[in-house]
Amino acid sequence: MAPLPTWPPALTDAQQADLAFQSATYALANGFTLLPVPPKGERVPDIPTQVIAAPLSLLPTPFPRPAYVQAKSIQRLYNALYARVALDWEFLDGIMEQVAPVDDFQAELWNRWKAIRDEIKVTQPIQLGIFRSDYLLHEHGNYVGDKAHIKQVEFNTIAASFGALSQKASEMHRYLSEQTNYFHAHAQLNNPNAFVDNHSLEEISAGLAEGFNAYGNCDAVVLFVVQEGERNVFDQRALEYQLLKRHQIQVVRLTFAQIAQRGKLDDDKMFWLDNPLGKDALEVAVVYYRAAYTPADYTTSAEWDTRVLLERATAIKCPSMALQLAGAKKVQQVLAAPGVLEDMLLARARPDVGFGAGPGSLGQPDAAALRDTWTGLWPLDSSEQGQKALQLAREHPERFVLKPQREGGGNNIYRENIPPYLAHLEEEDKARPGTAPRREAYILMELIEPPTGLHNLLVRGGEGKPRLADVVSELGVYGVALFGGDVAPVNREAGTLLRTKGRESDEGGVAIGISSIDSPLLV
């Protein structure tokens, strides 16, 4: 397989300006947008009157076709794995017993789930997962024979965003190719087979519809639980429009505070919402969380009470509290330990999710395929492995990233910042005698080293002017899984997302303008 091409191809200033104009107008016309950052001291308006194009790349970014195919092909294996984790209470309890003493957020989620899980196993055993598995190309193992290697960054089980905008990015790049021929700057940009056929918007909305149909009441609604002041609203609204247009399913968007005001359980544990615009209350069939993954979403115990109220309902949760716990970084690290993945997939009997990931049952090649995507992962506890990891983190921090049990980005500690941060945690421990060391709330992960020398023209949201950047691209693969109870199981890959950022930034974040929503150009 040929190496990645020199990128981007040469374009004149006039050609770049034309592409910037074409991409901006396409984005604004097709909902490839965000709400702008409000002026300092103001909040996002209740009725928006302005939008900006989402951060984007003017050209798709080259990505090895074998690596893209590999990432898509193993998504069903990952769906099956994390569905099994969510159903294995003993396994989750064993992990959370280690995490809870040093992580108040995970402890609260785990303890609230434990208090009601026997009830919800009877009330609603069906679970819906909309997942995203994120990967980087690894330079040191990038080409082995004809196979390009990907390494997993993380697996997301809650609020896996940008499914709609990622499809729009793919469509935008194909449009630019058809409209401008990219000025014949590179042959691959005029090759229709190099552009991915991405249907993440349709596939994710279809997954929500499958959960809705499993509930069994066509007069019910899907509840989107959202954050107040959400700027990424159009990514979410596109899913709502798709649900109504293709599946005749209505959506209600509410924050935790609004749900507390309008929602209630009846004696049969069905969840109802008062309807201020009509006389009939609305029955909720599916609860889809685009919030609830960060401590900032739970400012008081009232938000936790609302989360438990929803969990106790007959509505199908996406995700359940168990499935959210399954996405903890500690779970990722424990699964990577010798024999644990194999035990989860192959060895002792575990609760059945109702599907394998291919013909027949899961086997040793499936476990090997997953392990092939993993980099080094270690605990930071008092075990032999934990002590080895602590030594590595102090002596060779340039090789590692420190990860807490958090979603949403911006929480990791990188490279040379690791030793002083560990020292800071040790100082905090001195004020907490008799408690577990704070470092045990983290895992140590070997850094993935993406290929160097790849550039692209990126446009920050609302700016319109492209900037040439040395880039790193992270590929996300969506998955849909419906499992548990008597439901006909669903397990499929559901499209892809490419986020591209300047190499100078370790963290991502589309909404804050660090990453751009991109699409792969397969080479």
DSSP H helical ranges for 54-103: 65-73, 75-87, 89-99
Q: Is 511 annotated as a binding residue?
A: yes
DSSP string, 402-459: EEES--SSS--EEGGGHHHHHHHHHHHHHTSTTS--GGGGEEEEEPP-PPSSBEEEEE
Which residues have C-beta within 8 Å of that of residue 338, sequence separation ≥ 6?
A: none
Structural domain boundaries enclosing 116: 13-375+448-522
Query: What residue type is 259 in one-letter code?
Result: I
Q: Is 154 annotated as a binding residue?
A: yes
Indicate whether 125 pLDDT > 50: yes
Q: Is 410 annotated as a binding residue?
A: yes
Which residues partner with 147 through β-bridges? 144
CA terminus-to-terminus distance, the chain: 9
Catalytic residue status for 154: yes
Confidence (pLDDT) at 500: 96
Confidence (pLDDT) at 461: 84
299 and 415 within one domain: no
Q: Write out pLDDT tens, residues 242-274.
A: 999 999 999 999 999 999 999 999 999 999 999
Active-site residue among 23, 156, 200, 515? 156
Q: Is 405 annotated as a binding residue?
A: yes
What percent of the chain lies above the pLDDT cut of 70? 93
**What share of residues in the chain are helix, strand, coil (percent, to 5)?**
40, 20, 35
Which helix or strand (DSSP H or E) is residue 20 part of?
Answer: helix 13-29
Active-site residue among 76, 307, 329, 330? 329
Active-site residue among 31, 376, 408, 485? 408
485 and 428 within one domain: no
- Rounded CA-CA distance 232/386 in Å is 38
Q: Is 159 annotated as a binding residue?
A: yes
Average confidence score pLDDT of the chain: 92
Q: Is 384 annotated as a binding residue?
A: no
Active-site residue among 132, 307, 438, 439? 132
Q: Is 460 annotated as a binding residue?
A: no
Tell me, yes or no, whether 55 lies in a domain: yes
Catalytic residue status for 147: no
Q: Is 363 annotated as a binding residue?
A: no
Q: Write out pLDDT tens, residues 444-454.
A: 999 999 988 89
Catalytic residue status for 79: no
389 and 309 within one domain: no
- Rounded CA-CA distance 215/81 in Å is 24
For residues 192-199, give the mean pLDDT.
97
- Rounded CA-CA distance 290/226 in Å is 5
What percent of the chain lies above the pLDDT cut of 90? 81
Active-site residue among 240, 283, 407, 440? 407
442 and 295 within one domain: no
Contact predicate 61/518, CB 8 Å: yes
140 and 54 within one domain: yes
Active-site residue among 30, 31, 114, 154? 154
Catalytic residue status for 329: yes
396 and 259 within one domain: no
Q: Is 231 annotated as a binding residue?
A: yes
**SS3 track for 168-205:** HHHHHHHHHHHHHHHHHCCHHHHCHHHECCCCHHHHHH
For residues 386-409, give the mean pLDDT.
91
Tell me, yes or no, whether 202 lies in a domain: yes
Boundary-marking domain end, from 391, 416, 447: 447
Q: Is 414 annotated as a binding residue?
A: yes
162 and 60 within one domain: yes
Catalytic residue status for 177: no
Query: Cα Rg for the chain, rounded, in angstroms?
Result: 23
- Pick the closest to residue 6 from 126, 185, 269 (CA basis): 185
Confidence (pLDDT) at 2: 58
Phi, psi angle pair for 327, to nearest 5°:
-85, 5
Q: Is 445 annotated as a binding residue?
A: yes
Which residues have C-beta within 8 Å of that of residue 423, sequence separation ≥ 6?
A: none
Catalytic residue status for 399: no
Overall domain count for the chain:
2
Q: Write out pLDDT tens, residues 81-124.
A: 999 999 999 999 999 999 999 999 999 999 999 999 999 999 99
Residue 179: band (very low, low, confident or very high) from pLDDT cuts 50, 70, 90: very high
Catalytic residue status for 190: no
Catalytic residue status for 519: no
420 and 332 within one domain: no
Q: Is 293 annotated as a binding residue?
A: yes
Indicate whether 351 pLDDT > 70: no
Confidence (pLDDT) at 139: 78
Tell me, yes or no, whether 328 lies in a domain: yes
Half-sphere exposure of 441 (CA within 13 A, CB side): 23
410 and 325 within one domain: no
Active-site residue among 263, 499, 516, 519? 499
Boundary-marking domain end, from 415, 430, 447: 447
Q: The CATH number of the domain where 409 resides is what? A: 3.30.1490.50
Catalytic residue status for 408: yes
486 and 342 within one domain: yes
Confidence (pLDDT) at 346: 78
Boundary-marking domain end, from 447, 468, 500: 447
